[in-house]
Chains A and B, each alone.
Chain A
């Protein structure tokens, strides 16, 4: 017990004296102080930079509001479906391009160069094809997440250990057996990494589409707060959204055990 106490004490002393931690705390405090001073200075229009207390109160109000959770559910469902369709089609195309060099040389440059184009410009087309409802948001999210998943899976497939493929071939495995027993298990990390990237793009695509034309979802709430100049609420929604996006991203990373890549 005495030993445990001593160990705890040592750890606490180390973390308290950790200069990096102290620097981080100092930077955060400095930023918050500058923010609060700017909010109280009157240099900017009222509420453009609202007081931290107002933002904190808005976060609390937001999290206790049932309507917010309904809209969060709508956006989450749209992103989920977009990720499912875009992710699965991205994995399928990625597997095909990764397995066949000739097809990769024929089609991968198109994916590579279309990948970094701004997808939101396709939204008018999506509205014409799928209407103004959630379908057009899902379509834009799907389009946004397809490219990173497909490119990541294709690149990952080419990095599979050739020995594993030869083992599958020597056992005369069928295509389905090769995909499910060799390729997919060997490509867990690239696929999860692609899905992680795809999630980020699907989130942005779906939410931007909601801000442009929607009557429900988090994007709609953000643009509604902008229209009514409810700045503390807008800041609160952006903060909660960024935190949620960060948590989901981290969760997907953990699912794929991405941290193990660094260790091995």
Chain B
């Protein structure tokens, strides 16, 4: 597109784009700081970015944000373990029994896009207002992608590998553990990554909504106390945690992916 194009010498340097991206954020923060300090934006609605940065220390010392972080991570890991075990088991079952797969796969795909998080009051009634309700919420929302990707991975195993297993007279269980599962692992991990991302989103969201648990509760708590700088800082911290979580999972996925 000619009219929104960038001069060639600028576009060619890969660092220029990064400088522009990060530079824009710095300019935005400086502009926000200036506008708030000059009174163009009310300090009672948006605290100055410098105040938000300073309040991080308070969150660590007084609000025990690190302990809350590990609490949320613990919930995520519990949900992740359940997602992995149940999702892979159900996926293998569906992949092995074609009739069951044909009957259920579209249902699982429909469940993957269902707004499960809206059923959080239901989970509170069933499990009570505790960590289990939050973990199960994460589990339910993260399960469908793992099932779907396990089916995809196992069905996509190269015929020659399956035939090698047959030629060695492997039993059904051996075939799964020694051939199908290792071959499908990279695809299964894509499902686990998606499942964990969905689980994290729903776990933090549910913590915030039911005012219980780790980081989500901290945001709700600070907002109720009208601690503006603290609320913004906690939100920034959750964004940072989500990004680190997302990037780490992507790196593991890249490491698992076979080299073509």
Which residues of A sit under 8 angstroms from B29, Cβ to Cβ? none
Are B103 and A245 in contact, with the CB atoms below 8 A?
no
Question: Considering the complex, which residues of chain A in the window 82-131 have a beta carbon less than 8 Å from any beta carbon of chain B?
Answer: 96, 99-103, 105-107, 109-110, 113-114, 116-118, 120-125, 127-129
Are A208 and B209 in contact, with the CB atoms below 8 A?
yes
Are A124 and B231 in contact, with the CB atoms below 8 A?
yes
Are A105 and B18 in contact, with the CB atoms below 8 A?
yes
Q: Which residue of B lies closest to A246 (CB)?
A: B110
Which residues of B sit under 8 angstroms from A20, Cβ to Cβ? 99, 102-103
Are A118 and B125 in contact, with the CB atoms below 8 A?
no
Of the candidate stretches A7-15, A53-61, A187-195, A235-243, the one touching chain B is A235-243
* A235-257 Cβ-contact flags toward B at 8 Å (1 or 0): 10010011001100100000000
Interface of A is mostly: helix
Question: Considering the complex, which residues of chain B in the window 201-258 have a beta carbon less than 8 Å from any beta carbon of chain A?
Answer: 201-202, 204-205, 208-209, 216, 219-220, 222-223, 228, 231-232, 235, 238-239, 242-243, 246-247
**How far apart are the CA atoms of A222 and B120 in the complex, in Å?**
10
Tell me if A155 is interfacial: C-beta within 8 Å of chain B.
no
Question: Considering the complex, which residues of chain B in the window 106-159 have a beta carbon less than 8 Å from any beta carbon of chain A?
Answer: 110, 113-115, 117-122, 124-126
Q: A124-B219, A208-B205 are in contact. Are A100 and B6 (CB under 8 A)?
A: yes
Of B117, B209, B235, which contacts A122 at CB under 8 A? B235
Tell me if B259 is interfacial: C-beta within 8 Å of chain A.
no
Tell me if B197 is interfacial: C-beta within 8 Å of chain A.
yes
Of A96, A125, A249, which contacts B113 at CB under 8 A? A249
Tell me if B45 is interfacial: C-beta within 8 Å of chain A.
yes
Tell me if A42 is interfacial: C-beta within 8 Å of chain B.
no
Tell me if B3 is interfacial: C-beta within 8 Å of chain A.
yes
Of A23, A118, A234, which contacts B238 at CB under 8 A? A118
Are B125 and A106 in contact, with the CB atoms below 8 A?
no
**How far apart are the CA atoms of A222 and B219 in the complex, in Å?**
23
Are A121 and B204 in contact, with the CB atoms below 8 A?
yes
Q: A107-B21, A121-B219, A125-B231 are in contact. Are A178 and B1 (CB under 8 A)?
A: yes
Are B205 and A99 in contact, with the CB atoms below 8 A?
no
Which residues of B sit under 8 angstroms from A165, Cβ to Cβ? 1
Are A200 and B113 in contact, with the CB atoms below 8 A?
yes
Question: Considering the complex, which residues of chain A in the window 211-264 have a beta carbon less than 8 Å from any beta carbon of chain B?
Answer: 211-212, 219, 222-223, 225-226, 229, 231, 234-235, 238, 241-242, 245-246, 249
Tell me if B172 is interfacial: C-beta within 8 Å of chain A.
no
Of A116, A120, A238, which contacts B122 at CB under 8 A? A238
**How far apart are the CA atoms of A99 and B208 in the complex, in Å?**
38
Question: Considering the complex, which residues of chain A in the window 1-47 have a beta carbon less than 8 Å from any beta carbon of chain B?
Answer: 19-20, 23-24, 27, 44
Which residues of A sit under 8 angstroms from B21, Cβ to Cβ? 105-107, 109-110
**How far apart are the CA atoms of A174 and B125 in the complex, in Å?**
59
Are A234 and B201 in contact, with the CB atoms below 8 A?
no
> Chain B's nearest CB lies how many Å from the CB of A32?
14
Are A238 and B118 in contact, with the CB atoms below 8 A?
yes
* B21-49 Cβ-contact flags toward A at 8 Å (1 or 0): 10011000000000000000000011000
**How far apart are the CA atoms of A229 and B24 in the complex, in Å?**
50
Tell me if A48 is interfacial: C-beta within 8 Å of chain B.
yes
Tell me if B171 is interfacial: C-beta within 8 Å of chain A.
no
Q: A208-B118, A238-B119 are in contact. Are A117 and B239 (CB under 8 A)?
A: yes
Looking at A19, A113, A114, A165, the one whose CB has the most chain B CB atoms below 10 A away is: A113
Of A203, A207, A231, which contacts B125 at CB under 8 A? A231
Q: Which residue of A lies closest to B1 (CB)?
A: A99
Top 5 A-B pairs, shortest CB-CB distance: A124-B223, A105-B17, A226-B121, A99-B1, A106-B21
Show the binding face of A for B, using Cβ within 8 Å. Answer: 19-20, 23-24, 27, 44, 48, 96, 99-103, 105-107, 109-110, 113-114, 116-118, 120-125, 127-129, 165, 169, 174-175, 178, 200, 203-204, 207-208, 211-212, 219, 222-223, 225-226, 229, 231, 234-235, 238, 241-242, 245-246, 249
Further contacts, 7 of them, CB under 8 A, given A102-B6, A103-B4, A124-B235 = A23-B103, A100-B5, A105-B14, A121-B219, A123-B208, A223-B121, A226-B124
